[in-house]
Structures are given as structure tokens and as C-alpha cells.
Structure 1
């Protein structure tokens, strides 16, 4: 079994309704996000788990949907949590690339990271 991965970055703003102790917060703010898509499998007769051009194309479409966008307006995303971003990226890439085994989304500046591994 082999695992290939491709990383990408995007910049985006969003709001997030949450309660911090006694007051409610829903400020518009933004982040630089990093993401990694991993594909697992056995190489085909050409020696590839997945053609990297196909994986990069699927990722480019997702990046275009997220980069420099207001995440609250991205259809199918829901609240812009790290968890929902993982699920969204997984759904979008998996529709074009078989074998997506994990998606991670992280914010290096704050040290936050989330990884989704479908069962």
C-alpha cells in the first residue's frame, strides 16, 4: 500500500458564531489555511496510485472555490470550522479521485490542525 499527498494553501475570511465565557462572538476574520490531501492505494499497471495531474486538478478546483472567498457563502461548507473544511475538501476531491484516505486542514500561525480519515 502506498500513500501520496499533495498540499495547498488558501486565504479566506469567515464568521463563526460561538460563546466565549459570557459574551457571544460573531466577528468577521480571516486565516491563511494549509491543507493536505492523501490518497492511498496500490499502484496500477503504470506504477501510479493516482495520476498526480488528476489529483492536482481536483485540488485546484477546491482551492478556487475557497481561496479569497467569504467561507460563509461557500455552498455545502456549513460553519467554517476546521472539521467542516476537512469534510468539504474530502467530498470535492473524492468525487474526482478514488482512494482519498485523509484530509488535513491547518493554520500554521496558530498551531491548529484537524485531520479527517473516512472509515
Structure 2
């Protein structure tokens, strides 16, 4: 069974090295982002909960504070703020407090775009 928390944040960024010269994404621009933190587990027989969603929301609120109304290129670890790097950044930010974490989603709904990350790179890094 999976549970999740969604949160939104507004942020600006630019991607100077990700696109050919003159591409619009090389210029400063902003997005409305939606993030999803998904956890997996069995409900506890006594509480009926996988985990307290209030604790997950607290973790999400803390991460949101670091992202909302920011210039993402200046956030440590997000110097190249693609959907992919934002998903990895958020995974690393919340995973220590959420051991049942199975997926991070970062979405730009107005563009119909998103990225879903399952921590695979973190698993490889730990195995190396």
C-alpha cells in the first residue's frame, strides 16, 4: 500500500548548459511545481496507519520552505535545477526522516511534464 503527500512551490531557474545556444530555457524563467512524496508499507494493526501523515507533511513543509519563491540555481545541490536533479535533491532531503520512502515526483502540470524518482541512484551509491 502507498500513501503520499503533495505540495506546491513556485520557483525560478535557468538551464545554461542543458540546451543549445539561444534556447528559451537558457534564460531566467519560472514554474509552478508540484512535488509528491510517496511512502510504501503495511498499515500497523493497532493504528491502521503506514505512518503518521502529519510527520510526512512536516518533512514536506521543511523542504518546501527551501524551494518556494527561490532562484533554484542558488539552492545548494540544485546548481543545475532540472526536473531530474530536483527529484534527486528532494529524495536526499527527506529520505533520512522517511525510511518508507519509495518515490519522489516533481511535476510542472501547466507544461504536462514531470519526473518520478525511486532512489535508484542512492541505492547504487550505497552499494559501491
Please say whether Structure 1 and Structure 2 have the same fold, judged by a TM-score greater than 0.5. Answer: yes
Q: Which runs of 4+ in 1 moved over 3 A?
A: none
Query: Within 2, Cα distance between the matches of 1:13 and 1:114?
Result: 18
Query: Within 1, Cα distance between the matches of 2:7 and 2:19?
Result: 31
Counterpart residue number, 2:12: 13
1:24 Cα deviation after fit: 4.4
Give TM-score scaled by structure 1 length.
0.90
User: Which ranges of structure 2 fall in alignment gaps of 5 or more residues?
Assistant: 121-128
1:46-95 Cα distance to aligned partner (Å, 9 max, x none): 22111111000000000000000110111122311000111111111112
Give TM-score scaled by structure 2 length.
0.84
Counterpart residue number, 1:74: 75
Give the number of aligned pairs.
116
Query: Within 1, Cα distance between the matches of 2:64 and 2:103?
Result: 17
8 Å contact from structure 1 (residues 78, 84) kept in 2 = no
The structure with more helix, counted as a fraction of residues: 2
User: Which ranges of structure 1 fall in alignment gaps of 5 or more residues?
Assistant: none
SS in 2 for 1:59: helix
The structure with more strand, counted as a fraction of residues: 1
Q: Superposed, which structure 2 residues align to 1:11-90 within 5 Å?
A: 11-17=10-16, 18-20=18-20, 23-25=21-23, 26-44=26-44, 45-90=46-91
1:19 Cα deviation after fit: 2.9
Counterpart residue number, 1:104: 105
